[in-house]
Amino acid sequence: MTGINPKGDLIARLTALGLGTPTFDATSEGPPHELTFHATVTVAGRVLGEGEGRNKREAERAAAEAALAALDAGRGTPQSGEPSGAWPIYAPVLAEALEVALELADEGAGVDDVRREAARLYRDLLADLGHGPGEG
């Protein structure tokens, strides 16, 4: 179940995960008195969710809800070699993992390298605590 502001929730979740800012694209079709809007939400060129509605706002909300559901189901951004599944999100712990990954990163490390290391640290910590995918 999503909150009152799924677009805001999605932006916050992606920011906490270090995945960037989502882009919403909406199109409409049909006669002017019966338009249907279709929205797509993408991050780093990857489609996370799609939705339809009677106006742009409804379509974007539906797309954000679909993207949040995909992230919860572990379909949002798994990298090759990374375990998939819905890992619980504890924002303060994730922020600390990112902080540690930044401190440990080589000078030439890119954002993706730091993000992957933060995700690894976060997953390892949660696994050690018995909070793996689908658990909480």
pLDDT at 87 over 50: yes
Q: How far apart are CA 5 and CA 13, in angstroms?
A: 12
Q: What are the boundaries of each domain within the chain? A: 6-72, 81-136
Q: Which residue has the higher pLDDT, 133 or 121?
A: 121
Phi-psi region of 69 (alpha: psi -120 to 50; beta: other; left: phi over 0): alpha
When pLDDT is averaged across residues 61-87 and rounded to a whole number, the result is 68
Lowest mean pLDDT among 88-92, 117-121, 125-129, 131-135: 131-135
Distance of alpha carbon 54 from alpha carbon 63, whole angstroms? 13
Question: What rounded mean pLDDT belongs to the chain?
Answer: 80
**Confidence at residue 17, expressed as pLDDT on a 0 to 100 scale:** 76
Q: What is the pLDDT of residue 18?
A: 74
The highest-level CATH class for domain 6-72 is: alpha beta
- Give the pLDDT score at 59: 96
For residues 75-79, average pLDDT: 48
Question: Nearest-CA neighbor of 11 among 25, 21, 26, 23?
Answer: 21
Residue 129, burial from CB neighbour count under 10 angstroms (0-12, 13-18, 19+): exposed
Q: Give the other-Cβ count within 10 Å of 28's Cβ.
A: 13
Q: What is the mean pLDDT of residues 108-126?
A: 80
Please check whether residue 20 is in contact with residue 43, taking contact to mean a CB–CB distance below 8 angstroms.
yes
Q: What angle do CA 91, 88, 58 make, to 5 degrees?
A: 80
pTM metric for this prediction: 0.56
Which range, of 110-114, 118-122, 129-133, averages the lowest pLDDT? 129-133
Of these ranges, 73-77, 103-107, 128-132, the one predicted with the greatest mean pLDDT is 103-107
